[in-house]
């Protein structure tokens, strides 16, 4: 077997109109290289973003000098491979043009064996300005295509939105949570890969049929050979082995090896079982010599999207290994405006946080990137299903032949790259484009189509259908047919009439519900606007003060300062936070307190929504909020800020997504309804304990009842009038606590108040903290009066087992702190240095 690799990492760069070459880092981009060389200030600080819009108007060049030793040059093939070029790039090697790239989502490779020399090879790349490249396309089209999140004005382009013409991450041009940094550069690995005789280009473990008794699979193997060979394909996994005699012809060979595994260990999502992974190795031998091999890791499972008509519409849920799964999770955006900066540790922090928060699904949203391999590997390991969008969002795109061809190759490459991951549960064509355009309903949509004449409308929609109803589903069917394709999120169904387009009360398909937030509807509407699968909904907050100070000075700490407005990309964002805060929470005493209160507000919104969705199981079978993460430090819908710090919402979400949940629905002004939802696959025998306390800890009323909770269901357990609970108590100073107990252990616990928080009578709380185990970060807290939103902070970066919780006098709460990223683990028990304990009363007037 003769293969070898040479990673190319000795790079320099400069603007094409400059003379001086500077050191560059690959993978990277122009912005990060300029920052590393001290040419620009931190793009994320203050309003620096506004001063860096010149970068995307220039052409940039990168060069690398490298030697190729005799061993590498002795190979029959030496391929230059770019895993990612962003985006318009012309490449020369030793003065000869070898490729021209125009898609950051594709891999670019060319055999350069004949061009290489032993010493001083000169590799040169010119990155053409994506703005200069695409402005002529806009001019040639004659009208602008909708792209409302393209912040062209902030980029000095007035209303000329060119993002839709580039096969480039849409969020680079700005979004309503992200800055505008239109990057260029070598954003993924660049290398030379040498081989002779035979090379295995691809190995796909196609899962024909998988049951607990038997897995029927086909190893789909693509082999490139320099000449005809008779040989043996050997496939192995653990102690299992299969063989197939083959005759290779010169060129590309496609070989299928069918095989079976008896009593396979299945891959399960988090909460349902072990996410077991098999490692398969395929090897080609000739005359007893191994000429090529390739290894892939996958999990054995069946995953189906179930859409069946019922008395209320049509179902929309995922079935894993024959089991209906309530999807609990979030939408994921890129973790950085500069994607190459995201380390494995940052990815694992996010995905481990999702798993610790009882999630089982993340949606890779279509305005970002097809994520790095490590993202999907971690989802496989943690049992997190992936709803995978293709990279199209909130815009309409051209449909000329060159664009369609480019998209087809992009789609096929990424499907092939990702299809072995058992976490991939769905391929989705785009984000919000069907409902935004709303072709079949003149009165629906975002008002886009009204800006075009009839001919333009038909052309734009025809181009849309060519990509999302023809090209992409055909690519999925061809390359990954046992995973479903969904044309657009949200969507009811492909009906080619007005019933196609999703709306807040759809009883089929998936829903993006934004009545709460964008339409300023009350939180209570989350209880009424419940669909079959809630694939987007959300509420904003600011990051905590420590994070805000990474981009702001004390003088910037006011809601309408230039810096706060720069780091709030939703035009109505700050006003809406303030408006909702006035509705539900006490008035904060200063801006620092406003930051804290905004997090409590967001957390309450997410709790209300998630529990409403779960209570409505199985009518509703998915709850993916917007969004888990940020690409820069900002006020946004994220539940974990850019620096990886859990907001209050993340703790509330963890509790509301626990596998066996108790939930008190107080949306009826007369009643308090107690529900239990279970996502586990076995019955649970437990006890429900309901206790009414006053704010001084006096137990007013207590009710207990045994429960047998059925698997994978939700049920109303008790419905009682609020008047019966309160009786003669002060409703402003009463809290109802619901607890599920099993053998003395608390499975879940929730609090319910009978008035909004701003009507509760809160007193200054004296909270004590007992150190139970300093080394392992275990602390017990108690309070002399009811303490709302108890917030634990520490200098050590990490998370608590619970935070932003309420303390009832006489009812201690024990928590554990885990530090981030110690000993190679995402979280490890640790002491909490300089622990500070505050509650809501410390932040109000």
Q: What is the pLDDT of residue 837?
A: 98
Rounded to an integer, the average pLDDT of 242-260 is 97
For the chain, how many structural domains are there in total? 5
The neighbour count for residue 690, using CB atoms within 10 Å, is 22
Q: What is the pLDDT of residue 726?
A: 83
**Burial of 97 (C-beta count, 10 Å sphere; 0-12/13-18/19+):** exposed
Would you call 722 helix, strand, or coil by DSSP? helix
- Are the CB atoms for 443 and 378 separated by under 8 Å? no
Percent of the chain at pLDDT above 90? 96
- Are the CB atoms for 184 and 196 separated by under 8 Å? no
pLDDT in tens, 308-342: 999 999 999 999 999 999 999 999 999 999 999 99
Look at the chain and count its residues.
Answer: 845
pLDDT in tens, 65-100: 999 999 999 999 999 999 999 999 999 999 999 999
pLDDT in tens, 284-312: 999 999 999 999 999 999 999 999 999 99
Q: What is the pLDDT of residue 1?
A: 52
Q: What is the pLDDT of residue 806?
A: 98
**Token duo for residue 301:** 């499972």
**pLDDT at 234 exceeding the cut of 80:** yes
Same domain, 284 and 334: no
Residue 497 CA to residue 441 CA, distance in Å, equals 8
**pLDDT at 646 exceeding the cut of 90:** yes
Same domain, 433 and 564: yes
**pLDDT at 18 exceeding the cut of 80:** yes
CATH of the domain at 47: 2.60.120.260
- For residue 843, give its domain range: 762-845
Rounded to an integer, the average pLDDT of 612-633 is 98
**Burial of 196 (C-beta count, 10 Å sphere; 0-12/13-18/19+):** middle
Query: End of a domain among 298, 321, 354?
Result: 298
**pLDDT at 427 exceeding the cut of 60:** yes
DSSP code of 75?
A: S
Residue 94 CA to residue 67 CA, distance in Å, equals 12
pLDDT in tens, 356-377: 999 999 999 999 999 999 999 9
- Are the CB atoms for 530 and 617 separated by under 8 Å? no
- Are the CB atoms for 704 and 686 separated by under 8 Å? no
Q: What is the pLDDT of residue 548?
A: 98
Q: What is the pLDDT of residue 723?
A: 87
**pLDDT at 454 exceeding the cut of 60:** yes
Q: Which residues contact 119 (CB under 8 A, 6 or more apart)?
A: 67
Same domain, 615 and 731: no
Angle (CA) 229-232-238 rounded to 5° is 145
Same domain, 819 and 730: no
Same domain, 472 and 615: yes
Q: What is the pLDDT of residue 727?
A: 80
Closest CA to 407 of 567, 840, 415, 233: 415
Query: pTM higher than 0.95 for the full model?
Result: yes
Rounded to an integer, the average pLDDT of 475-502 is 97
List the strands of the sheet with 684-694, edge to edge: 699-709, 684-694, 734-742, 745-753
Confidence label for 273 from pLDDT (cuts 50, 70 and 90):
very high
Q: At what angle do helices 591-615 and 648-656 cross, to 10 degrees?
A: 20
CATH of the domain at 781: 2.60.40.10
pLDDT in tens, 702-747: 999 999 999 999 999 999 888 888 887 888 999 999 999 999 999 9
Query: End of a domain among 734, 761, 788?
Result: 761
Helix boundaries (H) for 384-498: 401-418, 433-437, 454-465, 472-479
**Token duo for residue 293:** 């091999």
Same domain, 791 and 680: no
**pLDDT at 110 exceeding the cut of 70:** yes
What is the overall mean pLDDT for the chain?
96
- Are the CB atoms for 91 and 98 separated by under 8 Å? yes
Confidence label for 2 from pLDDT (cuts 50, 70 and 90):
low
Integer CA distances (angstroms), 111 to 2, 79, 192, 253, in order: 16, 4, 9, 19
Same domain, 331 and 208: no
**Token duo for residue 72:** 């590498």
CATH of the domain at 603: 3.20.20.80
Query: End of a domain among 739, 761, 783?
Result: 761
**pLDDT at 229 exceeding the cut of 80:** yes
Same domain, 266 and 331: no
pLDDT in tens, 816-842: 999 998 767 899 999 999 999 999 999
Q: What is the pLDDT of residue 149?
A: 97
Same domain, 468 and 594: yes
Three-class secondary structure assignment of 267-324: ECCCCCCCECCEEEEEEEEECCEEEEEEEEEECECCEEEECCEECCEECCEEEECCEE
pLDDT in tens, 177-223: 999 999 999 999 999 999 999 999 999 999 999 999 999 999 999 99
Same domain, 229 and 343: no
Confidence label for 845 from pLDDT (cuts 50, 70 and 90):
confident
- Are the CB atoms for 532 and 511 separated by under 8 Å? yes
DSSP code of 178?
A: B
Same domain, 176 and 262: no
Same domain, 244 and 352: no
- Are the CB atoms for 165 and 134 separated by under 8 Å? yes
pLDDT in tens, 39-50: 999 999 999 999
């Amino acid at each position: 077997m003769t293969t070898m690799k040479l990673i190319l990492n000795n790079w320099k760069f400069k603007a094409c109109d400059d003379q001086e070459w500077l050191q560059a880092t690959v993978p990277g981009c122009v912005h990060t290289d300029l920052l590393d060389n001290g040419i620009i200030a931190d793009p994320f600080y203050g309003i620096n973003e506004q001063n860096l819009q010149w970068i995307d108007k220039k052409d940039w060049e990168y060069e690398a000098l490298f030697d190729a030793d005799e061993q590498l040059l002795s190979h029959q093939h030496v391929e230059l491979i770019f895993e990612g070029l962003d985006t318009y790039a012309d490449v020369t090697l030793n003065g000869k043009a070898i490729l021209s790239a125009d898609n950051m989502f594709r891999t670019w490779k060319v055999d350069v064996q004949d061009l290489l020399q032993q010493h001083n090879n000169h590799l040169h790349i010119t990155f053409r300005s994506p703005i200069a490249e695409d402005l002529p396309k806009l001019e040639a089209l004659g009208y602008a295509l909708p792209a409302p999140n393209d912040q062209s004005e902030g980029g000095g382009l007035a209303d000329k939105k060119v993002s839709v013409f580039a096969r480039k991450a849409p969020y680079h041009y700005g979004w309503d949570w992200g800055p505008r940094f239109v990057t260029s550069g070598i954003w993924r690995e660049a290398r030379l890969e040498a081989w002779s005789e035979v090379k295995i280009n691809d190995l796909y473990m196609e899962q024909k049929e998988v049951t607990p008794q038997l897995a029927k699979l086909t190893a789909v193997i693509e082999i490139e050979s320099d000449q005809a060979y008779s040989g043996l394909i050997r496939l192995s996994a653990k102690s299992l082995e299969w063989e197939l005699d083959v005759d290779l012809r010169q060129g590309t060979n496609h070989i299928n090896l069918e095989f079976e595994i008896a009593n396979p260990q299945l891959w399960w999502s988090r909460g349902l079982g072990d996410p077991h992974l098999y490692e398969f190795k395929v090897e080609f031998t000739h005359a007893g010599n191994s000429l090529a091999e390739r290894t892939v890791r996958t999990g054995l499972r069946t995953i189906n999207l179930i859409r069946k008509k019922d008395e209320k519409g049509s179902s929309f849920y995922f079935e894993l290994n024959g089991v209906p799964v309530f999807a609990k999770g979030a939408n994921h955006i890129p973790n950085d405006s500069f994607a190459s900066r995201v380390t494995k540790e940052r990815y694992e922090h996010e995905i481990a946080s999702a798993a610790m928060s009882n999630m089982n699904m993340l949606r890779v949203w279509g305005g970002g990137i097809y994520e790095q391999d490590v993202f999907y590997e971690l989802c496989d390991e943690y049992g997190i299903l992936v709803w995978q969008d293709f990279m199209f969002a909130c815009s309409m795109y051209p449909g000329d032949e060159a664009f369609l061809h480019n998209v087809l190759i992009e789609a096929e490459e990424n499907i092939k790259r990702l299809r072995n991951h058992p976490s991939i549960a769905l391929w989705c064509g785009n984000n919000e484009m069907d409902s935004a355009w709303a072709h079949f309903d003149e009165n629906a949509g975002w008002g886009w189509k009204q800006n075009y004449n009839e001919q333009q409308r038909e052309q734009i929609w025809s181009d849309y259908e060519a990509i999302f109803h023809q090209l992409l589903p055909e690519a999925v069917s061809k390359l990954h047919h046992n995973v479903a394709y969904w044309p657009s999120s949200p969507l009811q169904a492909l009906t080619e009439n007005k019933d196609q387009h999703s709306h807040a009360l759809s009883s089929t398909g998936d829903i993006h519900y934004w009545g709460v937030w964008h339409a300023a509807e009350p939180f209570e509407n989350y209880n009424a606007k419940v669909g079959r699968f809630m694939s987007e909904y959300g509420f904003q907050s600011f990051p905590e003060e420590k994070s805000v100070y990474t981009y702001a000075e004390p003088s910037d700490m006011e809601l309408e300062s230039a810096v706060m407005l720069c780091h709030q990309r939703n035009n109505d964002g700050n006003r809406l936070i303030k408006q909702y805060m006035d509705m539900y929470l006490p008035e904060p005493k200063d801006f620092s307190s406003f930051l804290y209160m905004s997090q409590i507000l967001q957390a309450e919104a997410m709790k209300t929504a998630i529990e409403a969705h779960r209570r409505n199981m199985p009518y509703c079978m998915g709850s993916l909020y917007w969004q888990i993460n940020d690409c820069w430090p900002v006020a946004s819908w994220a539940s974990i800020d850019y620096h990886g710090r859990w907001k209050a919402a993340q703790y509330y979400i963890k509790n509301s997504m626990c596998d066996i949940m108790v939930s008190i629905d107080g949306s009826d002004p007369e009643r308090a309804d107690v529900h239990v939802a279970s996502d586990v696959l076995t019955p649970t025998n437990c006890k429900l304990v309901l206790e009414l306390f006053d704010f001084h800890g006096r137990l007013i009323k207590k009710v207990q009842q045994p429960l047998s909770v059925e698997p994978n269901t939700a049920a109303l357990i008790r419905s009682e009038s609020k008047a019966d609970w309160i009786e003669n108590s002060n409703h402003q100073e009463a809290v109802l606590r619901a607890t599920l107990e099993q053998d003395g252990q608390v499975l879940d616990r929730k609090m319910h108040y009978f008035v909004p928080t701003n009507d509760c009578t809160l007193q200054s709380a004296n909270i004590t903290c007992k150190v139970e185990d300093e080394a392992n970060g275990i602390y017990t807290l108690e309070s002399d009066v009811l303490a709302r939103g108890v917030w634990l902070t520490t200098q050590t970066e990490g998370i608590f087992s619970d935070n932003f919780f309420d303390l009832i006098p006489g009812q201690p709460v024990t928590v554990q702190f885990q530090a981030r990223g110690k000993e190679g683990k995402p979280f490890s028990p640790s002491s909490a240095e300089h622990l500070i304990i505050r509650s809501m009363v410390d932040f109000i007037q």
